[in-house]
Every structure is written in structure tokens, then in C-alpha cells.
Amino acid sequence: MTGGGAIPKGGRLGGLSALVTQADAFMGPAVTNLFRAEGAEVVADCRDLREISAAQTLVEEVGHIDILVANLMFRNTRTPAHETSDEDWARMFDVMVHPLHRLIRATLPQMLARGRGKVVVMGSANGLRGTSIRSAYSAARGAQLSYVRSVGVEVAPAGVCVNAIAQNFVSNPTSYPAEVTGAPEFQARLAEVPIGRIARGEESAALALFLAGPESDFMVGQVISFAGGWA
């Protein structure tokens, strides 16, 4: 990373290497497209990271990583807490929490050795606000955000910035595809959002770009709510 907020030549991410996980889901497409447009060399990986060794293998294959975008998503199940099975509970953590730690654990050594690096976690505002019949999903999302806060302050002295976006009501192919956002029941739900609309995926990607670029070099361990005032 360039210190002091200087923008590299060739775009905000010119000359930098980025890894985006689950690149075909959630915020992966929007982030990948914008980062490439801003000059980054992006590895858009779509593999399942639940296997214990998968994250380490991925990072070793990619090699040099200036920016890690931990984009981890599983469809939000709407199940009462007393009906949530151990399997459903574990699945949320197996997809969204354990791979997050393994990805960061595998990537940090090279960033710490260089004295610079950016980690952006694409999280959910469900980890900030209690909502009914989403206990397993919300717990996993909350764990992601707590992890970011702790690791962020841990590695900040070494020049590595770890931050998260806690979003909701953002258009994406996994949570809010067109067939969902166009339904009358979803339009009624927008009454919960003070700004009164769903965000475009490009808007969240722009925030990820800020967190990945040199302008955010002074931000560490932050969880930024991006939910139109919902949280």
C-alpha cells in the first residue's frame, strides 16, 4: 500500500494484486469488476472453502496478495431458534466464519513481512441488529465482525488494515436477486429502510474500493454499516 493516501498510477489499485473469494456470489461480481477497472490484478476464486486446508491451498496458489476480499456468503435461513438444528447452525459457521479465519491466517504472514496489506470483509448488518428467525445467520455474521475488530487492532502496528462492511438491502445475486427485489412483499419491507430503497451492488463495491485503497490507510478494525439506516 502507498502511505499517506497517495493514489497509485493506473487507478486506485494500480499495480496491486487482489484475491476475491466466492467471486460468483454475494458481492463478488461487483467487487471484482470495480477492482479490475481500478487497475488491480484480481484473482476471482469461486471454490468451496469449507475444507480445512482449502484456504491455505488457495493462498499458496495465488502467491502475492496485496488485498484480500473475504466475500463469504450462505443464504439466510429463516428458522426459529428452537427449530434450528445443529447441522444448520454449524453450516453457517463452516461457510462464513471458519474460512474467514483460515483465509486471514494464511494471508497475514506475507502482509506482515511486507509491512502493508488490506483485508476487506464483506459482512452483514444482521450482525449488528437483532432480527427474528435469523439466529444462526446473525450469530455467524456477528462472529465475523467481532473477529475483524480484534484482528484489526492486532495487526495495525504492522501496517496491515483489516476492516469490514456490514451491509443489508444491497442488490446482489445471492441475497437480493431481481426476482426477490421485484416482489411486492420485498417492496413492502423497504419501509424498514429509512432511505427507502435498495442499494446498487456498485455502491457497496465502491466502499470496498475505499477500504482496499490508500485513502483508508488510517482505518483499522472498523465495521462500517452500509444499510440505508437500517442498522
Catalytic-residue membership of 147: no
CB proximity list for 226: less than 8 A, separation 6 or greater = 125, 165, 166, 167, 168, 170, 199, 203, 204, 207
Residue with cell 450469530: 139
Alpha-carbon distance of 40 to 116, in angstroms, equals 16
- Within 10 angstroms of residue 76's Cβ, the number of other Cβ atoms is 19
Alpha carbon separation from 54 to 28, 49, 195 (Å, rounded): 18, 5, 40
Beta-sheet pairing, 160-167 with 223-226: parallel
Query: At 30, which amino acid appears?
Result: A
Given 137, 169, 176, 226, the catalytic residue:
137
In the 3-class helix/strand/coil scheme, how is 81-119 assigned residue by residue?
Answer: HHHCCHHHHHHHHHHHCHHHHHHHHHHHHHHHHHCCEEE
DSSP 53: T
Query: At 212, which amino acid appears?
Result: A
Residues carrying an active site annotation:
137
